[in-house]
Amino acid sequence: MFIFLAKRADEVREKLLSENRALKAQSKCLRCRRHDVCIAFLPCGHLVSCEGCSTDPSARKCFSCDAAVKARIKAFIS
């Protein structure tokens, strides 16, 4: 992923930190892994699905924990 030998340690650390922040702010749908998550499943509360996948028949169960999905809420990440 990174070529550590070619980089100064503090440069590498800075890159890792910024990548970590990006990952936390925005994660991809667990089902298609292409679109950003924007639907939270209830009652488990997992925010793991994009809008398209949340209407798929396979979304009767949470993609993360397999709990039965009773409701879905649209979430906005700002």
Q: Which of residues 34-53 bind Zn ion (CB under 5 A)?
A: 35, 44, 46, 50, 53
Q: Which helix (H) or strand (E) holds 72?
A: strand 71-74
Among 6-14, 23-31, 68-76, the segment contacting Zn ion (CB under 5 A) = 23-31
The answer for residues whose C-beta is within 8 angstroms of residue 39's C-beta and 6 or more apart is 47, 49, 50, 51, 53, 54, 72, 73, 74, 75
Q: Which of 16, 23, 32, 75 binds Zn ion (CB under 5 A)?
A: 32
- Interface contacts to Zn ion, rule CB under 5 A: 29, 31-32, 35, 44, 46, 50, 53, 62, 64-65, 67
